[in-house]
Amino acid sequence: MSDLVLANARLVLPGEVVTGSVHVRAGRIAGIAIGAALPGGAVDCGGDMVMPGLVELHTDNLERHIQPRPGVDWPHASAIVAHDAELASVGITTVFDAMRVGSIPSGKSRYAPYARQLASELLELRTRSALRISHFLHLRAEVCSETLIDEMAGFGPEDRVGIVSLMDHTPGQRQFRDLSKLKAYVMGKNNLTEAEFIEHVANLQELRDRHGAAHERAAVAEARRYGAILASHDDTSAEHVAVSAAHGIRLAEFPTTIEAARACHTHGIAVMMGAPNLIRGGSHSGNVAARDLAEVGLLDILSSDYVPSALLLAAVRLGDLWGDMARGIATVTRAPADAVGLSDRGRLEEGARADLIRVARLAGAPVVRASWVQGRRVA
């Protein structure tokens, strides 16, 4: 690889933003210099920010590409490549692709397994160097299901499973403790009658009663077998968080209340919230607003969730809110990398991977001008 020098940039370093340059050699950061000097052959960034590439721990974006409309199944290879290119274009250079494990192949609430096939196709494209950015798997283990144990048995340590999150979308608790919100969403999406919705809720609650405890134990054990980080999902109470801590969980996805977020910090669990929640000013499910957690120091990590372009925008807004851009950007770079044990990225430091992005602010909005992965330009 040829050397790359990005100069006359506002470098987002750990803890501060300074004017300087970054020297890249052989896919790594070879040096950082402070000052406005423009060495011969350097890329003049014109005062744009240069920061680590974004690290995304939970995105449903790949699922959106493989099923762009209800009932429409898109060819997987095409969908994966398009998803990968979209993430590169918005500054995401490492992604943990969320895939649901745990299905309901019988009854009216049915949905089929898909994760094993999709993961194999993604990993094959990665092996063929068809992808621009770094991909890991995030298995969303749905305990309110029928097939979770069998599906998780189909994965192993060789599959780059970095995160297993314990999901429980049983109606009446966690994300869906407000049944009126669930009712509006499910009836609208699936065109259910009132009676069909009541039956749907009863079916899922019965599944949770029958399989939930065994599925939760199995998911915890399988995460350990893979060597993956365990995450909780939609913790609502201090009691939920205590159970998470007992499992060894150190990452909480989208706690739904301030009580739960505060309990997470008490137990040393990092709190991750959705960037769309921050940008919209609240949760679409009626749960706690990400901004409220940010204002009381209970937000550590952002996830784009279902809008990839939201990740950088939300981090910049946090930087503005806190009056500390380095801190805001850390929620999408260093903090998520640290949460999953990736010590080689997420920071502008000598020796780190040269996963970098150049960002301008136009009318206050961040615009990604270029993305590099291990020193190679990918967008």
C-beta contacts of 218-224 below 8 A and 24+ residues apart: 218/148, 218/149, 218/152, 219/141, 219/143, 219/148, 219/152, 219/164, 219/166, 220/166, 220/247, 220/248, 222/141, 222/152, 222/153, 222/155, 222/164, 223/161, 223/164
pTM above 0.85, yes or no: yes
Distances from the Cα of 167 to the Cα of 140, 170, 227, 254, angstroms: 6, 9, 19, 11
Shortest CA distance to 47 belongs to which of 361, 370, 363, 355? 361
Q: What DSSP state is assigned to residue 72?
A: B
Length of the chain: 379
Torsion (CA) 371, 16, 44, 374 in degrees, nearest 10: -30
Shortest CA distance to 166 belongs to which of 146, 142, 147? 142
Residue 185 DSSP SS3 = helix
| CA separation for the pair 120, 285 (Å, rounded) | 33
pLDDT tens digit at each of 379 positions of the chain:
579 999 999 999 999 999 999 999 999 999 999 999 999 999 999 999 999 999 999 999 999 999 998 889 999 999 999 999 999 999 999 999 999 998 887 666 667 899 999 999 999 999 999 999 999 999 999 988 889 999 999 999 999 999 999 988 666 565 666 555 555 555 545 556 666 666 666 676 667 777 778 899 999 999 999 999 999 999 999 999 999 999 999 999 999 999 999 999 999 999 999 999 999 998 877 789 999 999 999 999 999 999 999 999 999 999 999 999 999 999 999 999 999 999 999 999 999 999 999 999 999 899 999 999 999 999 9
Query: Domains in the chain and their CATH numbers?
Result: 53-345 (3.20.20.140)
| CA separation for the pair 78, 21 (Å, rounded) | 37
Distances from the Cα of 363 to the Cα of 98, 107, 308, 360, angstroms: 33, 51, 20, 10
Most distant CA atoms of the chain, gap in Å: 72
What per-residue confidence (pLDDT) applies to 193?
A: 66
**DSSP secondary structure letters along 235-248:** --SHHHHHHHHHTT
